[in-house]
Amino acid sequence: MDQTLQKALDQLDQASAAVRLAVQNLANAPGGAEAAGDTAHALSGGTIDPFVFRFAIFVLAIFVGYYVVWSVTPALHTPLMAVTNAISSVIVVGALLAVGIAASGIAAGFGFVALMLVSVNIFGGFLVTQRMLAMYKKKDK
């Protein structure tokens, strides 16, 4: 805990040093304004490849999935599989792009096949889940 805090403080020091440097640059050099912009950009994560952000979302979503799925009651594991199947057909966005705007006819063809396949899943998956869930009833009192 102490170490993490120390690390965070160190980073804060570095960051403020960088800003100070940038401000000095700004004051001294004619091209200083751009340099300051670049430094600030780097500090706010602007030069980081978008992949890193996507990967961060991916990793966090795995954790969300982990906790959410453990809280699913075992009685509903079959509907869980059916509904995860239905939502994984969100791959339809790729198929839509291919059919919608691909310049190459072959690509649009592949997209069309993909679109048909996932449509089966989208409609079939959600409807069969709904059908299953409608059967789970409580004891009549």
Partner 1 sequence: MNANFASFLYLVSGVLFIMALRGLSHPTTSRQGNLYGMIGMGIAITTTLALATPSAGRFGLIVLGLAIGGGVGAVTARRIAMTSMPQLVAAFHSLVGLAAVMVAAAAIYAPESFGIGTAGDIHAQALIEMSLGVAIGAITFTGSVIAFLKLDGRMSGKPITIGGRHFINAALGIALIVLIVLLVTSESKLIFWLIVAASLVLGILLIIPIGGADMPVVVSMLNSYSGWAAAALGFTLGNLALIITGALVGSSGAILSYIMCKGMNRSFISVILGGFGGETTAAADDGIERTVKQGSADDAAYLMMNAQKVIIVPGYGMAVAQAQHALREMADKLKANGVDVKYAIHPVAGRMPGHMNVLLAEANVPYDEVFELEDINSEFAQADVAYVIGANDVTNPSARDDKSSPIYGMPILDVDKARTCLFVKRSLGSGYAGIDNTLFYKDGTMMLLGDAKKMTEEIVKAMDH
**Window 26-85: residues binding partner 1 (CB under 8 A):** 50-51, 54-55, 57-59, 61-62, 64-66, 68-85
79: Cα separation from own chain's centroid: 24
CB of 34 to partner 1, least distance (A): 25
Nearer to partner 1, 19 or 110 (CB): 110
Nearer to partner 1, 26 or 108 (CB): 108
Closest to partner 1 by CB, 35 vs 102, is 102
User: How far is CA 30 from each of CA 17, 34, 41, rounded to the nearest angstrom?
Assistant: 21, 9, 19
The radius of gyration computed from the CA coordinates of the chain, to the nearest angstrom, equals 26
Residues 115-134 that bind partner 1 (CB under 8 A): 115-134
Instruction: Candidates 3, 5, 31, 138: give the one binding partner 1 (CB under 8 A).
Output: 138
Q: Is 114 helix (H, G, I), strand (E, B) or coil?
A: helix
What are the DSSP calls for 42-76, one per residue? Answer: HHTTTTS-HHHHHHHHHHHHHHHHHHHHHTS-GGG
Nearer to partner 1, 31 or 51 (CB): 51
16 counts as binding partner 1 under rule CB under 8 A:
no
Half-sphere exposure of 107 (CA within 13 A, CB side): 10
